[in-house]
Amino acid sequence: SLDGARWRRIGFAQRPDHEALVRRTRLEVAGTVLAARQALKFGLACNTAGGTHHAHRSWGSGYTALNDLAVTAKLLLEEGAVSRVLVCDLDVHQGDGTAEILADEPRAFTLSVHCQNNFPFGFRGMDHLGKDESDLDVGLSRGTDDEGYMAALQQHIPAALDSFQPELVLYDAGVDVHVDD
Q: Which residues pair with 170 in a beta bridge?
A: 87
- CA 36 – CA 69 distance, rounded (Å): 10
How do strand 85-89 and strand 168-172 relate by DSSP bridges? Answer: parallel
Beta strand extents in 18-152 (DSSP E only): 85-89, 108-115, 136-140
DSSP state of 141: P
DSSP state of 96: H
Cα diameter, the chain = 47
- Helix then strand then coil, % of the chain, to nearest 5: 40, 15, 50
Check 54, 56, 93, 114 and give the catalytic one.
Answer: 54
Q: Are 72 and 17 in contact (CB under 8 A)?
A: no
Tell how far CA 152 is from the center of its chain.
18
> What's the order of all strands across the beta sheet hosting 85-89?
136-140, 108-115, 85-89, 168-172
Is there a catalytic annotation at residue 54? Answer: yes
Name the residues annotated as catalytic. 54
